[in-house]
Each structure stands twice: as structure tokens, then as C-alpha cells.
Amino acid sequence: MRLERTRADAGGALIIRRSQVRILPGPSEKSCKSSGLFASDGIEGEEGTFSICTFWYVEALTKAGRTDEARLTFEKMLTYANHLGLYSEEIGLTGEALGNFPQAFTHLALISSAFLLNRELG
């Protein structure tokens, strides 16, 4: 159920925003803003999609036995790497690299999801 909700929240997109991934329930954004927990990072514009979240989504799909969807999502993510196969922290709306580059945590999630998916696909 949560996998469908995540995909629906993404508007059917194959890449997932960090705000769409909820591991533990937390305070609402409104209450966090009023309490000062959210602060501007000084960067204008919209937040991109967080690459690590999409690789975690691939793992979740794989563990749920939905390997066709997991493979499609994984292969789509491969198209967002640069010419050296490196990923940034975020992917912009037009596919540009945003945030920290290269992002080690994203690469760990890539390896983990690739390993798990490969093991399931045989």
C-alpha cells in the first residue's frame, strides 16, 4: 500500500522526492516552521528529487516482489548519472545535477539496490 502511495504522490514519476519518503511519523511542516525547526538554506527555487530516496524505493519494490517495477525504476535512475557514472545528491526537474556532487550516500544506495535487485532477478 505504501509503495502505491509513494508512486501516486510522485505523480507516477520514477524518481522520488525526499519529502515523499516517510519512515517514521513526524511533526507537520506547519508546526515545524512555527517552531523554527525549518530554516531557509538560502538557495532559491524548488527542491530536486533526492537520488538516494529513489534507490531506497527500488529496494522496497524488490523486497515486495515487484521486480519488474524495481528494474524499470533502477534503469531509469541509471540515465541520471554523469558520463563517469557519478550521481549528485539531487536531480533537478530537467535532469540536471543539484546539491552535493559526487554524493557518497547515493552511491551506497545504488550499490545496495543493484545487489538486491540482481540477487532477486537471478
pLDDT surpasses 80 at 119: yes
Whole-model pTM: value is 0.68
CA 75 to chain centre: 14
Q: What is the dihedral of CA 85, 91, 97, 102, to 10 degrees?
A: -50
Question: What distances in angstroms separate CA 67 from CA 15, 57, 59, 108, one per listed residue?
Answer: 16, 11, 9, 20
Bridge partners, residue 49, by sequence: 91
Structural domain boundaries of the chain? 2-121
- Cβ neighbour number for residue 18 with a 10 Å cutoff: 16
Mean pLDDT across 53-80? 93
Q: Is the dihedral of CA 108, 110, 113, 114 positive or negative?
A: negative
Q: Is the pLDDT of residue 67 over 60?
A: yes
pLDDT of residue 1: 53
Number of Cβ within 10 Å of residue 97's Cβ equals 20
What's the count of helices (H) and strands (E) in the chain, helices before strands?
Answer: 5, 3
CB atoms within 10 A of CB 91: 22
pLDDT confidence bin for 34, thresholds 50/70/90: very low
Determine the 3-state secondary structure of 70 from DSSP: helix
pLDDT: is 46 or 107 the higher one?
A: 107
